[in-house]
Structure 1
């Protein structure tokens, strides 16, 4: 009996040891499997569109911040404009003086228009002058050319607009480069077409922004002055050097023109003249009817 109990006891010990070993192995397998499941569940799913792929990353954010720092150093942008009207004795002489002043201040004439009427002569000039010479040009025109009838000077500070456009332009260029990099690695036709469309829109917006900045720079660097030279033609016996005969003929001509204007004015009232006989007829009929009553 004792011989049988000893082998059975050894067999039970061996089974318990094997069961414990299998349990430890199973626990080890579970430990390896759980982290893998967690890793899969915590992974980020890929974006479903190109626009999602272009979310600002660290490099893009750094580029945007860099562009903002660059625009912080933009100097003040002030556009100066002016209008002047000067009465002169002789248009030709005044024009020569104006040309000398323009040349001295490194300016140029952008537009010239001359108008000759019965009452006066007008020479209208659009002058572009470097910003630093604008005040000197105005002062030169105010002295020695003629009598200043009107002068209007204005300044427009466009620094805020210029800075805003510059920041947006820099950011668009950053995203444009990012789209171009994405186009090189695009795998599907849908992504390629979408990226190309975004690139086209960005390029158009960049062209518009660059054009606006060029326009502002041009208006800031070169101020604009609208100059009008005016000569009156009205003659008087006190100031005119023309003889009596010429003034007599001018008076006859003016009187005739006034008579013609008066006659034409009467002719324009012909519908009312047609109504006068009809009104007289009605008045007489009413009067005769009243007498019979």
Structure 2
């Protein structure tokens, strides 16, 4: 009996020690887990210079700025034309021109008159709505005189207009970002640096907006340069220029007179053909008369 009791006591004691050790291990593990859940202390704050902030924000802007949505932009076509017309009387042609301009809802932008010993010229720059450009050109071509020269050009500026519009939108985004940075600037140096960037952006935006306005104006209103030309009749007696020019005029008048006389004789060629026939008939008549 004694022999059996001693091993049982030892076994019971060992089991109790083992359970106590397990409880102790569990307690230690719970403490370690709770320590792991505590967040680590934040790192010490560092002062960042404003120049580095500007660079960082610029890089951030570069990542966020994207081209605006692909809105459909209508075709931008600039039409220009030049016409030179020879007319009989300047005043009459000018009145006809005014009527044609009003009919096509156009207006005369510039007007210049030149009067020389050789000719009279009236230079007109006419701005006309894009849709009425062809009608205006046809009215001058068919209406007031003889067309000496005519040229029409069409320039497609859609690509340029789109490019300027996209860049303008991006510059406005940059400008707003810089203004936000200016409100958070802490030193005078930083403020001056940001203000300089804002000033440069504002200048670039003004240039881009001016370019778009110019393109819109040229697209909406086409330009026609019109020259009304009247040649004067010159003579050596009425010319008020120097002797050399007057001598040249006299020589030219003599040559022109000879050419006019020669062309006048040629204009009688049907009658010239009758002369040999008349001579032949007259000779036959003479021969027949002598035989009688």
Taking structure 2 as the reference length, what is the TM-score of the superposition? 0.67
1:111 deviation in Å? 1.1
In structure 2, distance between residues paired with 1:259 and 1:117: 15
What is the CA–CA distance in structure 1 between the aligned matches of 2:62 and 2:122, rounded to whole Å? 60
User: Paired residue for 2:277?
Assistant: none
Aligned residue for 2:36, secondary structure, equals helix
Partner of 2:237: 249
Alignment match, 2:29: 24
Instruction: Mark the CA change 1:143 to 1:51 in structure 2 (over 3 Å): closer, same or farther.
Output: same
Asked if the contact 2:87–2:228 (Cα under 8 Å) also holds between the matched residues in 1, the reply is: yes
Q: Secondary structure at the match of 1:68?
A: coil
Aligned length: 233
How is 1:175-254 mapped onto 2 (pairs within 5 angstroms)? 175-235=174-234, 249-250=237-238
Give the CA deviation at 1:32. 4.1
Are the equivalent residues in 1 in contact too, given 2:113–2:123 (CA < 8 A)?
Answer: yes
Match among 61, 73, 80 for residue 56 of structure 1: 61
Residue deviations 1:107-128 (CA, integer Å, cap 9, x gap): 1111111111111111111111
- Give 3-state SS (helix, strand or coil) of 2:126's partner: strand
Asked if 1:154 corresponds to 2:153, the answer is: yes
* Superposition deviation, residue 188 in structure 1: 3.5
> Does 2:62 align with 1:68?
no
CA contact (8 A) 2:106 2:129 kept: yes
- Output one character per residue of 1:138-158: Cα deviation in whole Å (capped at 9) or x when no partner: 011011200000000000000
Native 8 Å contact 1:87 1:146 kept in 2: yes
Are the equivalent residues in 2 in contact too, given 1:79–1:157 (CA < 8 A)?
Answer: yes
Comparing 154-163 with 22-31, which one deviates more in the overlay? 22-31
Cα pair 1:68 1:167 within 8 Å, conserved: no
**Cα-Cα RMSD:** 3.6
**Structure 2 vs 1, CA of residues 89 and 202 (structure 1 numbering), >3 Å: closer, same or farther?**
same
| Post-superposition offset of 1:15 | 9.6
1:189 CA displacement: 3.2
Do the aligned partners of 2:236 and 2:246 also contact (CA within 8 Å) in 1? no
Contact 1:50–1:194 (8 Å) recurs in 2: no
Moved more, 187-196 or 19-28: 19-28
Structure 2, unaligned runs of 5 or more: 1-5, 249-292
Does the CA-based 8 Å contact 2:141-2:147 persist in structure 1? yes
Note closer, same or farther for the CA distance 1:57–1:213 as it changes in structure 2 (3 Å cut): closer
TM-score computed with the length of structure 1 as normaliser: 0.67
